[in-house]
A and B are shown apart, each in its own frame.
Chain A
């Protein structure tokens, strides 16, 4: 089946996912060459439409496009004519009239990327929409796990942190479930959606309940400032039940890995000293590896969508 857009994980089937993972292996190899560039998308133009501030994801897409020899146009809404009476769709159509071939869109509202993609006729990649979806993050996470374990069998993963506000968690859970992983959440009651049956995950009340059994410990960014009414009591209570400290890090299962979508809040979800040990613990701490893999996965996706045409 032809894949036109990457909007959310539920639209991908297993075969497509495996195809993306497979080509990511190739593009990762490209990135390790001396000359990190292939002419695959020469003459194509990728436009980055980021309505929400982002450095990491936007840069990652930009590098990915450039490694494939595409031209990149970065569009930031604050410098646009958004406030001059144009609708968001008008603005986008104006930019597309300049003959862009693919749009990467990030927006604070869930569903915005789908709305735009329904109204324009070029492929769209979701760079993150509201609390809904962040499919490229999920795919790079899956690739990182696959690369480490060399398999996708019997993986147990615990996702720790704020499920309510996290698009990363939603996309990860759906993708991992589709690949047959056992996925657990570890989340305080006030940050857990009322009904998680769509995701089919079991929730635990403390990271101590999962730290010794899981193959992957996936820590989410805990954004105290994003919380509605600041419901969670305190950082130290969070540290006690949900954070990764040195002693918990040492309890992690043999051969297991630590992941985080970045940027880490040092001292909140992860003890800063663990991050400082990353270089000596490359086999366990995969946070930088996730960033590297992000470029390869995005190259793979850009290539997948644009080479079909």
Chain B
């Protein structure tokens, strides 16, 4: 049995689409061109300039007027906490998917720190089954060590066969260097991707914010850059030695970016991502003790933030991922020390990236879209994610020019711990097409097209 796809809650079949007047981003070739698109039974059938309206039967096709809008390959968020199974009060698969499509995200990788931890093949199958039932692209990430305990390696081979797209102990750093060496050797043998959360606990023990000017000023315990830098240096050495494919997630420090840049020049098989929070804000954000800025790794100094942006500009940073980490009110509306780490980000991934990197830093739209669509797709081995004939339509249609204050009321996710609340953000997702189905229409912003 397959659950019907729904558009804004209404059951409708929407997989024959005629998109007119739009500009398509080719993230791979890094250019933008005007063209119309016909999607038939979910597949991109034609991409041509000025397809005549009378060629298309309006009884069968929904017409989308994408005038002044940009047609992007569907966004791929490679770092999401769906909280399912086990923490469904914070998020579940359905609410997570709804939040994602609101953000133009058509594929996501979900982290295994659930309850139970995703460390057995049947648990990976649970996620794959829900991916299918919801007709959404979920790429399960399985644990590297049993129960994320940093002791025993999980069944990489069997988990991969069950559908694990990558392996991560996200939320925990693997402290034992010899174990990490064995993990990398086995990852190389089984040809799997490791997504590494880099944290040396001896430096981060009781820390809650970046160790620096503001931790000193506000009397909060700091987490030194060294916590991340040391582990990244270690793992780049191990990756070079073993040939393992590693992806360093949510980089936060200037030195980390430098080490990755050096390692790439040294042909180490490494990629990395950063979150919008880490390039949008600096550690001054905690000066009012707003717990939505309590994330791990912490939001660091202006110097670190600048290095991350340089890394994005020069290609050292491969992808932007949200690290969407939903928490119930009770875990955030509490003293800074007691509050949980993490902020949600599926719905702001695109907007925050556009606002900071395109409008402010003048990075090209094509490059930004690459960072949130085709690049993560490639890292996750999920195929070429571009708008091309013959492919299943995973498309996000966006307005780059809109500007609006982001408010708590706009949030679709079950949790509301966003760092971007009350901030003016540019860009808006207008339509999201997942696996050929129109799954999201931004009612306020869509342009009166024919939906008869």
Residues of chain B contacted by A230 (CB below 8 angstroms): 152
Which single member of A189, A205, A233, A236 contacts B152 (CB below 8 Å)?
A233
Cβ-based interface call for B157 (8 A)? yes
Is A190's CB under 8 angstroms from B154's CB?
no
Asked if B155 contacts A188 (CB within 8 A), the reply is no
Cβ-based interface call for B182 (8 A): yes
- Bound together, the chains give a CA A233 to CA B156 distance in angstroms of 8
Q: For residues 173 through 191 of chain A, which have their beta carbon under 8 Å from a beta carbon of chain B?
A: 188-190
CA distance A188 to B190 in the complex (A): 9
B154 and chain A: residue at smallest CB distance: A233
Asked if B186 and A236 make an inter-chain contact with CB atoms under 8 angstroms apart, the answer reads: no
A241–B157 CB distance below 8 A: yes
**Most chain B C-beta atoms within 10 Å of own C-beta, residue among A205, A230, A231:** A231
- Residues of A close to B158: CB separation below 8 A: 236-237, 240
Establish whether residues B186 and A189, one from each chain, have CB atoms under 8 Å apart when the complex forms.
yes
Whether the pair B157, A237 counts as a contact (CB closer than 8 A) is: yes
Interface SS, A side = helix
Please name the residue on chain B nearest to A229 by beta carbon: B179
- Most chain B CB within 10 A, of A190, A230, A233, is at A233
Bound form: Cα–Cα A236–B157 in Å: 10
Whether A233 contacts B185 by the Cβ 8 Å rule is no
Q: How far is the CA of A190 from the CA of B161 in the complex (A)?
A: 20
User: What's the nearest-Cβ distance from chain B to residue A85, in Å?
Assistant: 37
**Is B188 positioned at the interface, with any CB of A under 8 Å from its CB?**
yes
What are the residues of chain B within 8 A of A189 when measuring CB–CB? 182, 185-186, 188-189
What's the Cα separation between A190 and B190 when bound, in Å? Answer: 12
Find chain B residues with CB under 8 A from A229 CB.
179
Number of A-B contacts (CB under 8 A): 34
Asked whether any CB of chain A lies closer than 8 Å to the CB of B32, the reply is no
The contact string, 1 if C-beta is below 8 Å from chain A, for chain B 177-206, is 001001001101110000000000000000
Q: What is the chain B residue whose CB lies nearest that of A239?
A: B158
Q: Contacts of B182 on A, CB cut-off 8 Å?
A: 189-190, 231
**Residues of chain A with a CB closer than 8 A to B188's CB:** 189
Q: Which residue of A lies closest to B153 (CB)?
A: A233
- Contacting residues, chain B, for A240 (C-beta < 8 A): 157-158, 161
B236 to chain A, nearest CB (A): 19
Chain A contributes a number of interface residues (CB within 8 A of B) equal to 14
B-facing residues in A49-77 (Cβ within 8 Å): none
Q: Give the chain A neighbours of B152 by CB distance below 8 A.
A: 230, 233
Residues on A with beta carbons closer than 8 Å to the beta carbon of B156: 233, 237
| Chain A stretch 160-201: residues in CB contact (< 8 A) with chain B | 188-190
Residues of chain B with a CB closer than 8 A to A205's CB: 189-190
Q: Mark A205-237, 1 if CB is under 8 A from B, else 0.
A: 100000000000000000000000111111011
B186–A190 touching, CB < 8 Å: yes
- A190–B157 Cα gap in the complex (Å)? 14
Least distance between B61 CB and chain A CB atoms (Å): 47
Which residues, 118 to 162 on B, are CB-close (under 8 Å) to A? 152-158, 161
The minimal Cβ–Cβ distance linking A67 to chain B, given in whole angstroms, is 46
The smallest C-beta distance from A268 to any residue of chain B, in angstroms, reads 15
Among residues of A, the one whose C-beta sits closest to the C-beta of B156 is A233
Contacts of B161 in A (CB 8 A): 240
Q: With the chains together, A205 CA to B152 CA distance in Å? A: 20
Alpha-carbon distance A164/B152, docked complex (angstroms): 19
Residues of A within 8 A of B185 (CB): 189-190
| CA distance in complex: A194, B321 (Å) | 36
Q: B145: nearest residue on chain A (CB-CB)?
A: A233
A135 to chain B, nearest CB (A): 30
Task: Give the chain A neighbours of B179 by CB distance below 8 A.
Answer: 229
Chain B residue at minimum C-beta to C-beta distance from A230: B152
Q: What CA separation (Å) do A188 and B188 show in the bound complex? A: 11
User: A230 vs B186: C-alpha distance in the bound complex, in angstroms?
Assistant: 14
Whether B186 pairs with A234 at a CB distance below 8 angstroms is no
Residue pair A231, B153 in contact (C-beta under 8 Å) = yes
Across the interface, which residues of B come within 8 angstroms of A237, CB to CB?
A: 155-158
| Residue of A with least CB distance to B241 | A194
- CA A52 to CA B189, docked complex, whole Å: 34
The answer on a CB contact under 8 Å between A188 and B153 is: no
Residues from chain B with a CB closer than 8 A to the CB of A234 are 155
Residues on A with C-beta less than 8 A from B153 are 190, 231-233
Q: Which residues of B contact A (CB under 8 A)?
A: 152-158, 161, 179, 182, 185-186, 188-190
New A-B pairs, 4, CB < 8 Å, besides A237-B155, A237-B157, A240-B158: A189-B182, A231-B182, A233-B153, A241-B157
Which A residues form the contact surface with B (CB < 8 A)? Answer: 188-190, 205, 229-234, 236-237, 240-241
8 pairs of A and B residues whose beta carbons are closest in the complex: A189-B185, A237-B155, A189-B189, A233-B155, A189-B186, A190-B182, A233-B153, A231-B182
Show 11 A/B contacts (Cβ-Cβ < 8 Å), sorted by A: A190-B153, A205-B190, A230-B152, A231-B153, A233-B152, A233-B154, A233-B156, A234-B155, A236-B158, A237-B156, A241-B157
